Structure 1
């Protein structure tokens, strides 16, 4: 049963390009992690000075995702997560949501 891990980010208007560049240039270490299937950064609606983004990662199982969060690869991928440039762009910390797949069509 696949697991989808998502983080919701509210980004201040005018910081979108830098936020997207940070994700594009980061070393995610995901491809070398057992159970990882795919990642997407999704840009959503804009309004009231905020742009919504969602990081969306698909894992083979919740156990694979949880192992990733405890790994050296996770620590390496998130070592600059608290950098002031990133914090200036975000309106608060990301909001995590995790989901078990119950139906999938491709």
Structure 2
């Protein structure tokens, strides 16, 4: 398993715009081989921004990397450059290989 995360610093007062962009877009993830799940996370407010993170779970690092080179990735990100003033800087990517998973008993 592989976890891909992007941290976004969103300018204060632009949180609604950021959320509308992300919640209203088609991620094109459901049909991607190796995709497991996606979460958009709203974090704490800081002095000059609010922290958000995207968190996606993949069957493997290779599945994630294949997605980043796919048509689905291009479609999901085609309009991302039009709202740069929402962000306080570039997103920060973090990738993690899963060493252990603990799940609830049903």
What do the CA deviations read for 1:13-47 (whole angstroms, capped 9, x no partner)? 11111101111110110001000000001011101
Pair 1:22 & 2:21 matched: yes
What do the CA deviations read for 1:58-80 (whole angstroms, capped 9, x no partner)? 00000000000000000010001
TM score, norm. by length of structure 1: 0.95
2:84 counterpart (84, 87, 98): 87
Q: Matched residues in 2 for 1:34 and 1:25: separation?
A: 23
Deviation of residue 49 (structure 1)?
A: 2.2
TM score, norm. by length of structure 2: 0.95
Q: Secondary structure at the match of 2:53?
A: strand
Pair 1:72 & 2:71 matched: yes
Q: Which runs of 5+ in 2 are unaligned?
A: none
Q: Matched residues in 1 for 2:80 and 2:20: separation?
A: 14
- TM-align CA RMSD: 0.6
Q: Matched residues in 1 for 2:13 and 2:99: separation?
A: 38
Runs of 4+ in structure 1 off by over 2 angstroms are none
